[in-house]
Amino acid sequence: MDIALLNPDRGGHSETLWSALRRNPAALAGATLLSSVVLLAFVADQLYPGDPLEMVGLPLQWPGADPAYPLGTDSLGRDVAAGIAHGARVSLLIALSATLLSVLIGVTVGALAGYHGGWLGDALMRVTEVFQTVPSFLLVIVIVAIGNPSVGVIALAIGVSSWPTVARLTRAEFRTLREADFVTAARSLGFSQRAIILREILPNALAALVVTSSILVASAVLIEAGLAFLGMSDPNHASWGGMIGSGREQIAAAWYLTALPGVAIIVLVLALNLLGDGLNDALNPRLRRYRS
């Protein structure tokens, strides 16, 4: 990533986003953990070919009992390691798809409300407030219950419930930037409203949106896990939450069935939070000046 950042502590010289992140050990740790999870998702088919939901061994084998199944098997004889590897793909796919949808809706609503204001801005904000009055997890449950609990429906439900946060942030950024000198200059040059929104204001609001997106991805992972724990996951795909849900009945005798996918979720959410904090430090010039 080659985004130039102005560093006030180095005589105004610019540095790339990667250079700023490299000076933050927590951000590096988050990026390393996230890269490991992404790599695991990419190589899941090579490490564990076949269906991870297939019964392959004796049920309830503890980790280390059989070298063929290093993390053991569940009550149906399914390989826990294969489920975690393939579950990484499902969790990332749902989280990234839901975040993309929420960002698209939120940026569109927030940009229109913040740039135009007036009756349009008020109307869009009233719609946003209506969505915010409904608990997001409850809204997700309702949407998934109405449709079939598939990967696409779950991602749609999480995305639809998460966009108000992005909308309010985008509106605040646009209200701050719409009277800036560079926007006034663009208007005097005859730029269209669409060009001003997309080419002038939005790029300057991306820093806050990038940080918020990392938080939304982590939140989507937790929501998907909560849905799966309640039995509202896609039955055709292995997921970390689904593994926790199916293993809760054996938690006293085989606690590893819930602990191992739980640790995987913790690692992914921790990685996203650490990386989000690092991005916030790197993209916020006031924080860079304070912490240097």
Residue 234's domain is classified under what CATH number? 1.10.3720.10
Q: What is the pLDDT of residue 126?
A: 92
Q: Give the model confidence (pLDDT) of 206-236 as tens digits.
A: 878 888 888 899 899 899 888 888 888 888 8
Contacts of 117 (CB under 8 A, 6+ apart): 175
215, two tokens: 């938080």
- CA dist 210 and 215 (Å) reads 9
Q: Give the model confidence (pLDDT) of 147-201 as tens digits.
A: 888 888 999 999 999 999 999 999 988 888 888 888 888 888 888 888 888 888 8
123, two tokens: 């109307």
Three-class DSSP category at 232 = coil
What percent of the chain has a predicted confidence (pLDDT) above 90? 33
Is residue 45 within a helix (H) or strand (E), and if so which, with residue range? helix 44-47
Q: Label residue 264 by pLDDT band (50, 70, 90).
A: very high
Torsion of CA 105, 108, 112, 113, to 10 degrees: 30
The domain containing residue 64 runs over which residues?
Answer: 4-291
Closest CA to 127 of 78, 172, 173, 164: 164
| Number of domains, the chain | 1
Q: What is the pLDDT of residue 15?
A: 54
